[in-house]
Amino acid sequence: MTGSGRPRLRPARPEDAAEIVAMVRELAEYEKEPPSTVEASAEDFRRDCFGPNPRAEVLILEEGAAILGFALYYHNYSTWLGQAGLYVEDFYLRPPARGRGLGRMVMAGIAQIARARGCRRLELQVLDWNPARQFYERIGMEHRDDWCSYRIAEEGLERLASEVDDGSWSERP
């Protein structure tokens, strides 16, 4: 899977969208989920990661013509610090890229982006069984066991949102 040339990082381009979806499916399988659980399409990534107001950004790791991995990240905001941070939603390296120091290269690239943008933190979540936890600790990330992750989705989100469907609230004027 590796191509000729030295591994390098670059911002994703719209034409990478199908390959990003393929890697998200590979990531789902790695995380012990069937690839069919991935509903995202290349068009979703083209819509949300490119253009004048992207909701997320993607960093691509490539070697020659071969795409070896990606990291999708976006800004979050700390009210306590009064500054933005970067949140890494997904980070995936294909098997031929693992064990070569390339994961560190990707995270260092994201850290450079965070620093250039004045971000004070870089955050992510990792499954408790994932051996990548050791990697994150080696690069200086700290495990936070004092915070619990919560999520509401689909029916629960619809049910909660319907509680203010009385016209008393609107997102923006």
DSSP element (H, E) containing 72: strand 66-78
Q: Are 123 and 111 in contact (CB under 8 A)?
A: no
Q: Who's near 85: CB < 8 A, 6+ residues apart?
A: 75, 76, 77, 78, 114, 119, 120, 121, 122, 123
Known catalytic residues are: 136
As a whole number of angstroms, the distance between CA 44 and CA 32 comes to 23
Q: Who's near 110: CB < 8 A, 6+ residues apart?
A: 59, 71, 73, 86, 88, 122
